[in-house]
Structures are given as C-alpha cells and as structure tokens.
C-alpha cells in the first residue's frame, strides 16, 4: 500500500492497511468456524487449519489485488475472499470449505474485521498518547517558570508561561485519551438480517437442545476468541463506528491545535519554538527543493494537514449512520469502510508525528523572554487598568509601571499547571 500523497503514511505500518483488513476478515471467518466445530454445530471434519495462514506474507498483496478486483460484483470484498479461502482449503479440507462462513453475512465479517483492526490502531494510539502525555508533562514541569507572551486573537495579551501552554496542550491530549480509553470493541454477528436465523438453523440441524441458546453461544465464543465483546447486531445502529471516529478526530484536533502553535511560534520573527531539526535516524528535516537556508516545520505542517482533513471523515461516518435503512443499508454502509481506514491510519500517523514533535521540541527560552520584555508595557496594560479601582493603593505600584516585570503578573499560572499535571498523573496511574 503506497501513499505517495500522504507523506508519513508508512508510520502506520500495517495498521488498517488493506492486507491487515483482509487478514482480519480471515481471522473472523476462522473464529466463527472454530466456534461452529467447538460447539458441535459443524462436524469435527470441518476443523480447519488456521485460515489466516492460508494467506501468507508472500502472497497477501496478490490476494488483496484478487479480492479487490472481485469485490465489485457483489459490492463487497467478503464474497471473493470466502471463495478464495474455500479454494485454498480445497481438497484436503472439503468439509471446512463447506462450512466456512455459514451463519454469517458479509457485513458481519467486514464490520468485525474493521473493529478488529481499529482496536489494533487504538492500542497503538494509546501508546502514542501516553508518550505525548509524558512529553507534555515534562514540558509543563520544566517550563513552569519559563515566562512568555500570551497571545489572543493573534495579538499580545498578558504574560503566561510556556509551562501553561504545554499544560493546555496536555489538556487537549488528555481529553482525546479519555474518549479513546472508553471505547468498546464489539463483534458484529447477526447473519443475513440480524436474526442469527442461519446459525439457529444450523444448531437445530445439529441436534442442539436449545438452538437459539447455542447460536448465541457461538457468538460469545467467536467474540471471546477475537477478544471482542459479544453484543446484539448493530448492522444499522452504527454508534460503535461513529464513537471510534469521534475519538480519532478528537486526537487530530489536539494535534492540529499544537501544530498551529508551533507554526506560529516557529516563524522567524517570533522564533520561540523550533521543531527537532533531524529525524530520529539523523536525517535533516524540513529542507527545501530550492532554498538551502530553509528549515520548514514539517511535522507541524503534516499534523495540520491531518487535522484539517479528519473532521470531514468523521462526519462521513455520522452521515452513513444517519442514512442507514432497512436491515442492512445500500451505499451508506459501503461509504464507511474507506473513511474508517483513512481516518484510522492518518490519526496513527499524526500521533506518531506528534510524539516526535513534542519529544524533540526546542523551546527558545531566551527569545520568549526577549519578546516579553520588549512589550512589557503592553502586557501589563490590563493590570494598570485595574489600579484606579483601589484608591487606597496610592497610585500605580512599582510592579505596574513602565519598568515593571511582566513576570509579576502571571496570576494562577502555576496552580493551573499543577491541575493539568494532576490530571495527567491520574491518567498515567489509570493505565498501569
């Protein structure tokens, strides 16, 4: 899977890649077939080798191409994949080939595979979020005493510390981590129209005393072997996907917010922040194709890109949810897959870039101080405006006058940094 036009895409590795989704579909079929055999709905002879092993690393790209090419006739990739798996089970395992997929519908397999891949992506995201929290806790602590100019509506306002700015970034990251941490990962197993009718039918044929109970036990068993929650079908109640999408975009919101500050503060006229100049492998970053002096803030640029694109993708999932109809939906369901894949991969890429940016961020303490001092008068204008309220304070105090140090007007900055750090500590504790 190349992504020439989304630089950094390789950071996501195989997460939610086409091969990963295809293998996850095979894993889902396998979990279901195993459950059928385990509960003696299917005969022992239907026990199959690991289905996902039928597709090897060597040929997964070819299989993806074959399945992708065959997907249009039925509208989704499950039918051609099942055909291919049956062919490969072939002669040695005719019963497994026969029983494969029985009781499931295409949407069961694809939805569950996407959940499976999303969970992997979120597991990865959780590590990145933790690393970001760690980096931000470090910045907030280290720079709690680093004064800088507070800016509002693009203009100088009152003094802050860089520690406070880092604490605000931290708040946004913790908000995203909160949402991500609450997601549940359900299987989707309902059969043709969400009634489990085929599974019940199979259980009945097989002589189960209570075929319905057996069908539900099949779902539980398959879910358990996939590490997912057993829940009733949600073919047209799509909150599991919209919640995941909302959590993903809340991550990129946080990264975009950070990137915007870096893009502003790394402007040469401001110069208060600087991106890490080299990649972790030691390559120079941010060069230009023509201008040798350039050191473009590439990570912030690519983070901003992701943040600008993510909201529309999450909205796509909501639109698909809103347009669901019947027992399974034509078109709106199909619009979800690629949106989830793109949103998931891009968020993982952005998370990795954000971690790198935060871990290597250069804070130009001297420039911050210099900007602050140069505009001390302006930054204390609010303070001076309050003086007339207090006739008993005779005139403007020393710390309000033209020569006053803006650092004396930091308000509750320290305590607010502490509050963010406490929340981060609770988050870290909650993870361990």
For residue 139, the minimal CB distance to a second copy (Å) is: 15
Q: Which of 130, 295, 365, 396 binds a second copy (CB under 8 A)?
A: 295
Which residues, listed in sequence order, are joined to residue 151 by a DSSP beta bridge?
156
C-alpha to C-alpha distance for 292 and 276, rounded to whole angstroms: 17
Pick between residue 330 and residue 401 the one whose CB is nearest to a second copy.
330
Q: Is 87 in the site for a second copy (CB under 8 A)?
A: no
- Smallest CA-to-CA distance from 54 within 85, 96, 90, 97 is with 85
328 is catalytic: yes
What residues form DSSP beta bridges with 274?
A: 362
> Of 40, 53, 138, 212, which one interacts with a second copy (CB under 8 A)?
212
Phi-psi domain of 229 (left: phi exceeds 0; alpha: psi -120 through 50; beta: other): beta
Q: Name the CA dihedral angle for 402, 406, 407, 409, rounded to a multiple of 10 degrees.
A: 100
Tell me which of 14, 229, 405, 414 binds a second copy, using CB under 8 A.
Answer: 414
Residues 6+ apart with CB under 8 A from 368: 146, 147, 148, 149, 162, 272
Radius of gyration of the chain from its Cα atoms, rounded to whole angstroms: 28
* 3-state DSSP assignment of residue 243: helix
Check residue 163 for interaction with a second copy (CB under 8 A). no
Residue 323 CB, nearest approach to a second copy (Å):
6
Euclidean distance between CA atoms 263 and 165, whole angstroms: 14
Beta bridge partners of 11: none
| End-to-end CA, the chain | 35
Q: Using the rule CB under 8 A, which residue among 249, 357, 363, 376 binds a second copy?
A: 249
Sign, Cα dihedral of 221, 226, 227, 231: negative
Position 59 contacts a second copy (CB under 8 A): no
DSSP string, 238-265: -HHHHHHHHHHHHHHHHHHHHHHHHHHH
Among 296, 360, 365, 369, binds a second copy (CB under 8 A): 296
Site for a second copy in 187-206 (CB under 8 A): 191-202, 205-206
The whole-angstrom separation of Cα 403 and Cα 18 is: 63
The Cα–Cα gap between 218 and 34 comes to 9
Please tell me whether residue 263 binds a second copy under the rule CB under 8 A: yes
d(CA 45, CA 25): 22
Minimum Å distance from CB 175 to a second copy?
3
- Between residues 11 and 93, which has the closer beta carbon with respect to a second copy? 11
Closer of 129 and 298 to a second copy (Cβ): 298
- What part of residues 309-338 is at the interface with a second copy (CB under 8 A)? 309-316, 318-332, 334-335, 337-338
Indicate which single residue of 55, 150, 180, 357 sits in contact with a second copy (rule: CB under 8 A).
150
DSSP summary character for residue 186? B
Residue tagged 């997907």 (tokens): 71
* Identified catalytic residue from 11, 144, 328, 383: 328
Q: Which of 47, 88, 220, 285 binds a second copy (CB under 8 A)?
A: 285
Report the nearest approach of a second copy to the CB of residue 164 (Å).
Answer: 7
Query: Contacts with a second copy: how many residues (CB under 8 A)?
Result: 183
Q: Which residues, numbered 349-378, are part of the site for a second copy (CB under 8 A)?
A: 371, 375, 377-378
Site track for a second copy across 219-248, x = CB under 8 A? -------------xxxxxxxx--xx--x--
Beta strands in 364-407 (DSSP E): none
* DSSP-assigned beta bridge partners for residue 278: 284
* CA atoms of 43 and 51, how far apart (whole Å): 17
Judged by CB under 8 A, the residue of 277, 412, 425, 428 near a second copy is 412
Q: Give the active site residue among 267, 288, 338, 385.
A: 288
Q: How far is the CB of 91 from a second copy (least distance, A)?
A: 19
Whichever of 293 and 432 has its CB closer to a second copy, that residue is 293
Cβ distance to a second copy smaller for residue 53 or 69: 69
Q: Quick one: 88 or 367, whose CB is closer to a second copy?
A: 367
How far apart CA 203 and CA 199 sit, in angstroms, is 6
Judge whether 385 counts as a catalytic residue. Answer: no
- From candidates 96, 208, 303, 368, binder to a second copy by CB under 8 A: 303
Residue 298 touching a second copy (CB under 8 A): yes
Of residues 99-128, those binding a second copy (CB under 8 A): 99, 101-102, 104-106, 109
Look-up of token digits 């039928």? 54
Question: Closest separation between CB of residue 56 and a second copy, Å?
Answer: 17
**Active site positions, annotated:** 288, 328
């Amino acid at each position: 899977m190349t992504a020439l036009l989304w630089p950094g895409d390789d950071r996501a590795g195989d997460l939610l890649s086409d091969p990963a989704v295809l293998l996850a579909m095979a894993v889902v079929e396998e979990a279901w077939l195993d459950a059928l055999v385990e509960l003696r709905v299917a005969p022992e002879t239907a026990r199959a080798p690991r289905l996902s092993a039928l597709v090897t690393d060597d040929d997964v790209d070819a299989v993806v191409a074959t399945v992708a090419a065959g997907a249009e006739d039925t509208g989704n990739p499950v039918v051609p994949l099942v055909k291919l798996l049956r062919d490969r089970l072939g002669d040695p395992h005719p019963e497994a080939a026969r029983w494969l997929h029985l009781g499931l519908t295409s949407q069961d397999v694809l939805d569950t595979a996407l959940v499976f891949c999303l969970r992997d992506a979120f597991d990865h995201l959780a590590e990145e979020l933790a690393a970001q929290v760690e980096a931000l806790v470090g910045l907030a602590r280290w720079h709690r005493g680093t004064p800088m100019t507070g800016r509002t509506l693009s203009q100088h306002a009152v003094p802050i510390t860089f520690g406070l700015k880092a604490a605000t970034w931290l708040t946004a990251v913790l908000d995203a981590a909160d949402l991500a941490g609450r997601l549940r990962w359900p299987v989707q197993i309902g059969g043709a129209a969400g009634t489990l009718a085929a599974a019940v039918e199979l259980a009945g044929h097989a002589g189960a005393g209570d075929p319905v109970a057996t069908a539900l036990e099949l779902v539980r068993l398959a879910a358990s072997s996939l590490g997912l929650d057993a829940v009733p079908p949600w073919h047209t109640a799509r909150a599991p996907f919209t919640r995941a999408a909302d959590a993903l975009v809340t991550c990129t919101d946080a990264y975009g917010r950070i990137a915007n500050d870096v893009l502003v503060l790394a402007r040469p006229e401001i110069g208060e922040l600087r991106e890490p100049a080299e990649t972790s492998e030691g390559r120079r970053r941010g060069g230009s194709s023509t201008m040798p002096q350039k050191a473009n803030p590439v990570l912030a640029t690519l983070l901003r890109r992701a943040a600008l694109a993510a909201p529309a993708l999450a909205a796509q999932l909501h639109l698909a949810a809103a347009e669901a109809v019947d027992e399974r939906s034509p078109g709106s369901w199909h619009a979800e897959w690629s949106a989830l894949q793109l949103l998931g991969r891009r968020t993982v890429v952005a998370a990795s870039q954000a971690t790198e940016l935060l871990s290597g961020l250069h804070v130009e303490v001297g420039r911050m101080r210099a900007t602050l001092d140069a505009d001390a008068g302006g930054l204390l204008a609010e303070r001076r405006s309050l003086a007339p309220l207090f006739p008993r304070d005779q005139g403007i105090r020393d710390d309000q006058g033209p020569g006053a140090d803006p650092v004396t007007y930091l308000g509750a900055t320290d305590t607010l940094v502490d509050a963010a750090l406490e929340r981060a500590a609770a988050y870290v504790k909650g993870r361990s």
